[in-house]
Every structure is written in C-alpha cells, then in structure tokens.
C-alpha cells in the first residue's frame, strides 16, 4: 500500500520526502514505517499537513456561504465541521448564517431545531421547495 501511495506523489517535495524515508529506513530505529500503511500516512500528514487544522477549519467555516444547492452546502459544511471544536449550538448558528437568506427566513418561521443533522435535512427540504417554486 505504501508503494501505491508513493506512486501518486508525483515529482516534488513529497516524492523527495518518500525517497529520503525509503533510503534511510534500513538505518533507522523505525523500519516499520514503509511496512505499515497507517503509520506511513500519519507520518506523511504530520509532515505535510496543516499544523493548525482546527483554526483553519474555523476560518473556512466562517467564510462558507451557500451559493448553489443546500445539499452541496451541507456537504461542504460537514467536511469542514469535522475539524472544528465548536459546541453543537455554535455549529447550528454557523450553519444557519451560511445559508441563503430565503432559506434562513423559512427556518426562522419554524420551531427551533436542536439537532444539527435534522437542521441539515430541513434546510435541504426548504431549499428544494424554494427551487420548485422558482421554476
């Protein structure tokens, strides 16, 4: 698996990092790195990943706005939200703030939704209804 992963690195710094690991493995105390896919991926992410994924995710979440369908917005929101450390209440507020204004207004007309997953589905439903009305 590690060799397959490495085949997708292309030329550049990640490939050089891999070759450096491969060449130095026989001489290091951790020869298992190239034989353990999960350990290799963790080392790769530790080396090349964002050092502050939580802060980056919070910035992305604050900037995220619904441009297309609510289902696309939910997908992007979920992808970013898994790296955040907000309370459920704050996540619901961030989600609502990023929705199109017409969807927000329809949500305000309903009883408050206390569950984020339910909020996703209600927003998608409202957005779908608004789209049908527009056609």
Is 82 in the same domain as 62? yes
Is 23 in the same domain as 61? no
Is 65 in the same domain as 125? yes
Long-range contacts (CB closer than 8 Å, 24 or more residues apart) made by 45-54: 47/17, 48/14, 48/17, 53/83, 54/83, 54/84, 54/85
Per-residue pLDDT of the chain (135 residues; tens, 9 = 90+): 666 677 667 777 777 877 777 777 655 555 566 677 788 777 777 777 666 788 889 999 999 999 999 999 999 999 999 888 888 999 999 999 999 999 999 999 999 999 999 999 999 999 999 999 988
Is 35 in the same domain as 87? no
Is 65 in the same domain as 120? yes
Q: For the whole prediction, is pTM greater than 0.95?
A: no
- Is residue 119 within 8 Å of residue 113, measured between CB atoms? yes
Is 93 in the same domain as 58? yes
pLDDT of amino acid 12: 75
Is 41 in the same domain as 72? no
Helices (H) and strands (E) in the chain, counts: 8, 0
Work out how many domains the chain is built from and give that number.
2
d(CA 85, CA 88): 9
Is 34 in the same domain as 61? no
Domain housing 6? 2-48
């Amino acid at each position: 698996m590690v060799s397959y992963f490495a085949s997708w690195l292309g030329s550049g710094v990640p490939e050089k990092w891999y070759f450096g690991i491969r060449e130095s493995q026989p001489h290091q105390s951790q020869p298992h790195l190239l034989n353990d896919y999960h350990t290799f991926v963790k080392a790769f992410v530790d080396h090349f990943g964002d050092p502050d994924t939580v802060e980056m995710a919070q910035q992305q979440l604050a900037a995220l706005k619904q441009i297309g369908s609510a289902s696309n917005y939910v997908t992007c929101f979920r992808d970013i939200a898994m790296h955040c450390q907000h309370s459920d209440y704050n996540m619901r507020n961030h989600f609502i703030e990023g929705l199109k204004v017409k969807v927000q207004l329809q949500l305000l007309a309903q009883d408050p939704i206390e569950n984020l997953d339910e909020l996703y589905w209600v927003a998608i439903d409202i957005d779908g209804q608004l789209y049908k009305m527009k056609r």
